[in-house]
């Protein structure tokens, strides 16, 4: 059952959180949730909390937390409180808060809302198998331990020395609740959920309620897979006499076949993948917003309403409303992200794009770790040349590398050499002669007064090769492109020659000619 979404926000200053588990590379869904939490918080002057839920020690990975901090910071999704920055409700790691949960669990046991369970994992496995075989309408734990002492339970099969603690779900458990995105929801009836494991660590269900209360969280924003758990959490709030937060369940990110995007099957589910692939953080943030939120609507000069899909985080936050979130699981369309990324790349100032390319070029060995001023100056000129066609930062390397190759030993790709015709030697000889006539001094033969410029280079080569040799441009300039870049496809030829300079250009042409 779904009705109109509940109203928000309350008069209380909003405090929202994202609470990932450090069990591997951060999931892109963590950034997706953080984005929507942060947009609401920034609009209403609240506080955004990063809490690390590391109670799953079997899957815990030590480097995962550092990756989490690094990738969210790269995206600009900065938190006000967290393990690395502290805050009034520290500590912000669940593993450091174990003493916090014990009194709450004790209260539930004393009030009869929770009980010890000594069933072994083998017995529970057999119970599930039997329920599946018999197609029992009642599934979940059968309450064998409820109402028994340790000694009484020890007389029965499937006994474990170390008990867990389970909730005692009442028959009349409320299953409906209000959701800021979806309105009134009804979840299935839960079973007697474990709230403390045999190792003494609380389960997610217990820890999340206690931590959200202790940290003053006013709105719990999470994926729709947690809808079925919400009645359990609301029971815990009510049993413990704690104020209930508001809930907003976000749609899950999905593949084209509607399956949930997962790190095991989808490399793009890993948040680190996007930086490795050369996406801009602002493009990824914009893309994640569009997955669950409509474009910005504006009025054009003709008074028509138009959609704008490119917007900043600030614009997203300023107009944010929970009732605008689309509850339908969005398809994670990388083609759309590629388009957005290309748009953002082309809008960057050239010097800033060059600075963002630098780490990738250093990692690929195109540039040294500490390039000199001349190399950096050339990079900015090259960046301006390739920027109109660049879609990913990682795609710049092959285009930039030839500009830093030794002039007398430019690596020539097989397909570039293979497309050279029998007249390539004559074309290169004529090009060298024509370019030798261009002076680098002011006041050259073309009367431009600018010497070695792409305009003068193009004019000289067209006169010598197209008009002089009677060649079509495609065949006239192909050998020159091979000599300059070593590639069949390269940045604009004449501009490349201008950037390289007269000496380097002539050396490269002569070097290829010598091999033919």
Distance CA 354, CA 374 (A): 14
Examine the residue annotation and report whether 263 is marked as an active-site residue of this protein: yes
Active-site entry in 43, 263, 395, 474 = 263
Separation in Å, CA 52 to CA 318, 375, 381: 28, 43, 44
Q: Tokens in use for 467?
A: 């008009």
Which residue's entry shows tokens 């602002």? 282
Q: Residue 164: which H helix or E strand, with range?
A: strand 159-167
Distance CA 471, CA 31 (A): 55
Q: Residue 274: which H helix or E strand, with range?
A: helix 271-276
List residues forming the annotated binding site.
Answer: 263
SS3 label, residue 189: coil
Sheet holding 15-18, edge to edge: 47-50, 15-18, 219-223, 246-250, 176-179, 183-186
Please list the alpha-helical segments (H only) found in 320-453. 334-347, 350-363, 373-386, 397-400, 414-418, 424-436
Number of neighbours of residue 73 by Cβ within 10 angstroms: 13
Q: Tokens in use for 233?
A: 């959490």
Task: List own/partner pairs for 265-269 with CB under 8 A and 24 or more apart.
Answer: 266/332, 268/28, 268/332, 268/334, 269/27, 269/28, 269/29
Which residue's entry shows tokens 């046991």? 109
List residues forming the annotated binding site for ATP.
Answer: 263
Distance CA 372, CA 445 (A): 34
Annotated catalytic residues are 263
């Amino acid at each position: 059952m779904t009705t109109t979404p509940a109203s928000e926000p309350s008069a209380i200053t909003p405090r929202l959180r994202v609470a990932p588990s450090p069990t591997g590379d951060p999931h892109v869904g963590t950034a997706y949730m953080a984005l929507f939490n942060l947009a609401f918080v920034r609009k209403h002057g609240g506080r955004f909390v990063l809490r690390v839920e590391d109670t799953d020690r079997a899957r815990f990975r030590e480097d995962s937390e550092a990756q989490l901090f690094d990738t969210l910071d790269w995206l600009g999704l900065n938190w006000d409180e967290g393990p690395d920055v502290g805050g009034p409700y520290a500590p912000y790691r669940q593993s450091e808060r174990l003493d916090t949960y014990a009194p709450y669990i004790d209260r539930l046991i004393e009030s009869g809302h929770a009980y010890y369970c000594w069933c072994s994992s083998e017995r529970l496995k057999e119970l599930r198998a039997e329920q599946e075989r018999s197609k029992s309408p009642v599934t979940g734990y059968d309450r064998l331990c409820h109402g028994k002492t340790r000694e009484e339970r020890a007389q029965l099969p499937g006994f474990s020395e170390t008990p867990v603690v389970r909730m005692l779900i009442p028959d009349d458990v409320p299953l409906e609740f209000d959701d800021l995105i979806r309105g009134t929801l009804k979840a299935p009836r839960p079973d007697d959920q474990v709230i403390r494991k045999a190792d003494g660590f609380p389960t997610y269900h217990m820890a999340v309620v206690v931590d959200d209360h202790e940290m003053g969280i006013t709105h719990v924003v999470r994926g729709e897979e947690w809808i079925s758990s919400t009645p359990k959490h609301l029971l815990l709030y009510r049993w413990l006499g704690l104020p209930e937060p508001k809930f907003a369940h976000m749609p899950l990110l999905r593949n084209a076949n509607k399956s949930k995007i997962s790190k095991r099957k989808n490399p793009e589910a890993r948040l680190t993948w996007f930086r490795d692939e050369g996406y801009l953080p602002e493009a990824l943030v914009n893309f994640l917003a569009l997955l669950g939120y409509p474009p910005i609507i504006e009025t054009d000069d003709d008074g028509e309403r138009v959609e704008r899909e490119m917007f900043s985080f600030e614009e997203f936050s300023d107009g944010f409303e929970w009732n605008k979130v689309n509850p339908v699981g969005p398809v994670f369309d990388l083609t759309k992200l590629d388009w957005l990324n290309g748009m953002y790349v082309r809008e960057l100032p050239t010097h800033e794009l060059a600075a963002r390319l630098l780490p990738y070029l250093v990692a690929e060995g195109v540039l040294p770790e500490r390039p000199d001023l001349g190399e950096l100056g050339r990079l900015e000129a090259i960046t301006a040349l390739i920027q109109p066609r660049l879609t990913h930062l990682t795609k710049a390397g092959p285009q930039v590398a030839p500009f830093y190759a030794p002039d007398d030993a430019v690596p020539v790709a097989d397909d570039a050499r293979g497309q050279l015709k029998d007249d390539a030697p004559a074309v290169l000889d004529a090009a060298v002669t024509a370019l030798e006539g261009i002076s680098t001094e002011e006041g050259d033969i073309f009367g431009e007064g600018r010497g070695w410029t792409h305009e003068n280079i193009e004019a000289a080569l067209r006169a010598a090769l197209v008009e002089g040799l009677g060649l079509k441009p495609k065949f006239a300039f192909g050998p020159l492109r091979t000599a300059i870049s070593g590639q069949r496809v390269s940045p604009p030829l004449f501009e490349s020659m201008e950037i390289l300079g007269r000496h380097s250009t002539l050396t490269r042409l002569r070097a290829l000619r010598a091999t033919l």
